[in-house]
Structure 1
Amino acid sequence: MDFGARTFELPECHSVPRTKFDVDRKTKRGNPVYANVHGFDHAGALRELQRHVFGPEVQHDHRLLSRIVYRNRNQHRGSVHFRRFEELRRGLKILQGLQIPVLVDRIQAAFYPVGVSRKRRAEWQMLPCRYYMTAVVGRLVWVGRFLEKLQMVCHRCFVQCTGQVAVTLFMPLMIVVQGIAARLQVVLRLWHRSVADIAGVLERWLLHLPACPDSLSGPLPSLPDLDATAEPAKKPVEDVDEIIADIMPDLSIQEPAKKKRARHRTMDIYSDFS
């Protein structure tokens, strides 16, 4: 089966401190740049993210299945049931490379300053930019599709082992692999549900995240700067012809003359043979 686990590098995470979202107590006003941040339960959404836990059960079953495949490769090479074992082992190897627990931990760490441990992650202190979280949602969608395919592989492996047990062939081996496939299918179903919940929370959260951090768009204006009626910091870009005319007035830009193609009559083709 082509699992289609196309991974891509996530962009750098830029988080905006919570102090920039606070409303001024004197003027009762907030920065209009972050107007979309207010009116959303950020603490409740973060609690929904933190309640999902991805345990080491899949990693343990992957090691056990890899050992079984290694020890029985010579005897069962080329058989249908052994190809199912190899397919499941390859899918678990790809799943381990996706590092779903690490990805979820990075999502939660984006709401706190760098270096804050998990035990000190109580109330959120920062908000990541919408650009980073959009890429994270895309990654989670790909992970969810991959988990669906891997559940199908577990089901096929379980059915193949059941058929071998029915004809009493290699029963000790088939019973062990049958238990591994059944347990993996249950765990992967829970993982898929957790990944779908996280992606749903982040998708609702995107509209209430800062669009772009300071490091990408330059320093954002403060409240006094917004009240002042001053000239804009950046002047509008002029036309290229106007800029060249100011620097070198004697230089005139002319378009290159187009060469006229010579017209050939039909009889000119046979002029050399006359």
Structure 2
Amino acid sequence: MAATRPEGSAEEHRMRAALRHLQAEAGVLERLVYKHRNQHRGAAYFQYLLKVRRDEKLLLGANLMEVISAVFPVITCRKPANTILVPNRQGKRKPGANHCQYKRLLGVARLLSQLAEPVMKGAVQISFLLARSFFVELCTAVLALLARVRVLTQQVSHIVYSHGYE
């Protein structure tokens, strides 16, 4: 059955899997922020966590799965390129759905590049806490979470950038 798949579907599968994992990590981050907000809300590292959470929400709210479904058939030459360059029809059910898929993809690429900074700065601040043995369990969990978010965003951005500029 794998031989009947068209080219590029492996990358599409990797992108979808990375987005599912990123969504799961966003849920874990949401729970960590909810649980520790009262105690840590004024600290610099927690502010970076809030920025990471905000950017993840924007990234997942961009409905990247829909953009992938529209863009990958063009990349694999199954559809003409003008299908992603022109805006979608505006329907009665979705009055704000008049978006060009290519511009949405560029917006997602921008979000992915902006997400790297708060992840790294948050990891640096958390590692300072860990070096002083403050909140060891929280720091370990947050460092693991930030590392996973960083890897997943790099995977997604690699796929987006490798096909977005061909």
In the alignment, structure 1 segments of 5+ residues that lack a partner are 1-45, 112-121, 202-274
Change (3 A) 1:163 1:137: same
Specify the alignment match of 1:172 in structure 2: 137
1:49 to partner: Cα distance = 6.6
Q: Is 1:47 aligned to 2:12, yes or no?
A: no
Q: Is the 8 A contact 2:67 2:104 kept in 1?
A: no
Q: Is the 8 A contact 2:51 2:118 kept in 1?
A: yes
Change (3 A) 1:144 1:123: closer
Q: Is 1:64 aligned to 2:64, yes or no?
A: no
Q: Is 1:94 aligned to 2:58, yes or no?
A: yes
Distance of 1:197 and 1:87 partners within structure 2: 26
Distance of 2:77 and 2:49 partners within structure 1: 45
Number of equivalent positions:
144
Q: Is 1:129 aligned to 2:89, yes or no?
A: no
Amino acid in the other structure paired with 1:158:
A
Q: Is 1:186 aligned to 2:151, yes or no?
A: yes
Q: Is the 8 A contact 2:109 2:160 kept in 1?
A: yes
Distance of 1:85 and 1:192 partners within structure 2: 20
1:99 to partner: Cα distance = 1.8
Distance of 1:96 and 1:179 partners within structure 2: 20
1:196 to partner: Cα distance = 0.9
Change (3 A) 1:103 1:50: farther
Amino acid in the other structure paired with 1:199:
G
Percent of paired sites with the same residue: 23
Amino acid in the other structure paired with 1:127:
P
> What's the TM-score once normalised by structure 2's chain length?
0.75
Amino acid in the other structure paired with 1:47:
E
Based on CA coordinates, which of the two structures has the bigger radius of gyration? 1
Alpha-carbon displacement from aligned partner over 1:52-103 (angstroms, at most 9, x marks no partner): 3322111011000110111111111211121121111111111110122221
More helix by share: 2
Q: Is 1:154 aligned to 2:119, yes or no?
A: yes
Amino acid in the other structure paired with 1:79:
A
Alpha-carbon displacement from aligned partner over 1:208-261 (angstroms, at most 9, x marks no partner): xxxxxxxxxxxxxxxxxxxxxxxxxxxxxxxxxxxxxxxxxxxxxxxxxxxxxx
In the alignment, structure 2 segments of 5+ residues that lack a partner are 1-5, 88-99
Secondary structure of the structure 1 residue equivalent to 2:42:
coil
Alignment of 1:1-274 (within 5 A): 47-48=7-8, 51-52=11-12, 53-54=14-15, 55=17, 56-108=20-72, 124=78, 126-127=79-80, 129=82, 131-132=85-86, 135-201=100-166
Specify the alignment match of 1:33 in structure 2: none
